Structure 1
């Protein structure tokens, strides 16, 4: 019975972690560029009393083994990098990646951060920055007095200057990709960092070499499906209740044994 209690407790711990993952997905259902997480589970070490194929007498062997599981644990959370929907804003500084790739920004400590959230703005110096003030890499500065800013599907940034008949190119926003984007380290503020699991970033031009195209005036919505998350939440809740009942049943059986003996 002690083993049954331990197994059921491990189930409660794992399901609690899954519910927290679902809660975070639902909380970020309206976060620009958010990628949902999916909890993954694995079995704990089995206790083998008799291996399969063990000898049974002189000329026979057992056709199946005798093993009992020790429970479950959460092995990790996998980030699902599917494309989110498009929200048209009409804002010149709102950018969306249609396809693969991430925007690169420079953090205050000099490290590179990566994001799918393209809700950019300009700071007092005219640089294109995130809402937190992190400049988009490579650094692009909008000239003072520019009347319009155009960002092409390849990331080329052009500004219409007073007295000029044609827009002037002022830089190009490049994209980064990773062999294993699910291995990126999330650090909040819609940002990811390179990790040993993600591999080194590969820089490229939007629309070339497998990179997605940039759409100006639109934002990528979260890829969270609230309906699916609610279904997962109900399934998790039911599984949690069942594991709780296992604990109650094991407790009743132990009480019966104690009273009978």
Structure 2
């Protein structure tokens, strides 16, 4: 019976939907995390009677047809790149982006990855790095015994050197943006990788040309609405249960047909 296969595709789709929602909820407190949603499309149809077909020699046209659907398929898990809420931390090297940009990170293999996670630290050489020890680009090195670290909205880094009263500019943190942010590929560790869908990275200066500005001593929270996620989870669960009931009903119908069949002589 066709309904068994159709309902099975519905159960598989809702299982994936629950996986996506569970990942969103699991990353509720992940800095810079961007939520995903599951997107679905209907499968190919069997056209038993095609709408618009000629139904008589006089040219009568069928106003409606008989189309039997094959179920549902998952076509993607698009990521929402909307702005998350900024939260103050009090740490001088914590940075949040208010706008469209990404921090550019140099990986050990010489490639670049991109992140919205501004939880930065200093390594043993005074360089600004991520939690995994990868260098923020351009490389910023904070002199030993420097104090009064400030990072303005444009990303200019200033410190007060020993024996001086005026602050000294020691570098500028840049930002990178993409034509299609949703086309970036997540690779874990709060990092994204460019793809043909995202377009080429465009390096620039914060607080100019739509790159967004930097907020020192702040971090961007995940852009997740807990109430919405819980509502979606309940809806996915109910859809899964209804598809399971369709399979049960189809099985009972097949059983009734089998039990009521006339034995061959």
Residue matched to 1:224 = 224
3-state SS in 1 of match to 2:77: strand
SS of the residue aligned with 1:244?
helix
Q: Which residue of 1 aligns with 2:46?
A: 47
State the shift of 1:136 in Å.
0.4
Q: CA deviation at 1:224?
A: 0.7
TM-score by length of 2: 0.97
CA distance in 2, matches of 1:240, 1:32: 31
Q: Deviations over 1:104-128 (max 9, x none)?
A: 1011111111111101111001110
For 2:49 and 2:125, locate their aligned partners in 1 and report how far apart those are by CA, in whole Å.
73
| Cα distance in 1, alignment partners of residues 160 and 40 from structure 2 | 54
| Cα distance in 2 between the residues matched to 1:126 and 1:73 | 51
Q: TM-score, normalised by structure 1?
A: 0.98
Structure 1 gaps of 5+ residues are none
Q: CA shift at 1:203, angstroms?
A: 1.0
Q: Distance in 2 between matches of 1:4 and 1:191?
A: 42
What is the alpha-carbon distance in structure 2 between the residues aligned to residue 116 and residue 238 of structure 1?
Answer: 35
Q: Give the superposition deviation at 1:148.
A: 2.5
**Which residue number in structure 1 is paired with residue 101 of structure 2?**
101
2:12 aligned with 1:13 = yes
How many pairs align? Answer: 260
Task: Tell me the equivalent position of 1:36.
Answer: 35
Match of 2:124 in 1: 124
Q: How far does residue 145 in structure 1 lie from its aligned partner after superposition?
A: 1.5
Correspondence for 1:164: 164
Structure 1 position 138 matched with structure 2 position 128:
no
Query: What's the RMSD between the two structures over aligned residues?
Result: 0.8
Question: Offset of 1:66 from its aligned partner?
Answer: 1.7
SS in 2 for 1:256: helix
SS of 2:87's equivalent in the other structure is: strand
Structure 1: which 4+ aligned runs deviate by more than 6 Å?
none
Unaligned 5+ segments in structure 2 are: none
Matched, 1:255 2:255: yes
Select between 182-191 and 160-169 the one with higher mean Cα deviation.
160-169
Write the distance in 2 (CA, Å) between the matches of 1:140 and 1:86.
23
Secondary structure at the counterpart of residue 137 of structure 2: coil
User: Residue 232 of structure 2 aligns to a residue in which SS?
Assistant: helix
Stretch of structure 1 that moved more, 241-250 or 48-57: 48-57
Which residue number corresponds to residue 22 of structure 1?
21
**CA distance in 2 between partners of 1:51 and 1:202 (Å):** 50
Distance of 2:14 and 2:108 partners within structure 1 = 37
Alignment of 1:68-217 (within 5 A): 68-217=68-217
Show CA shifts across 1:130-152 (max 9, x none): 01101101111111121231111
Deviation of 1:50 (Å): 2.2
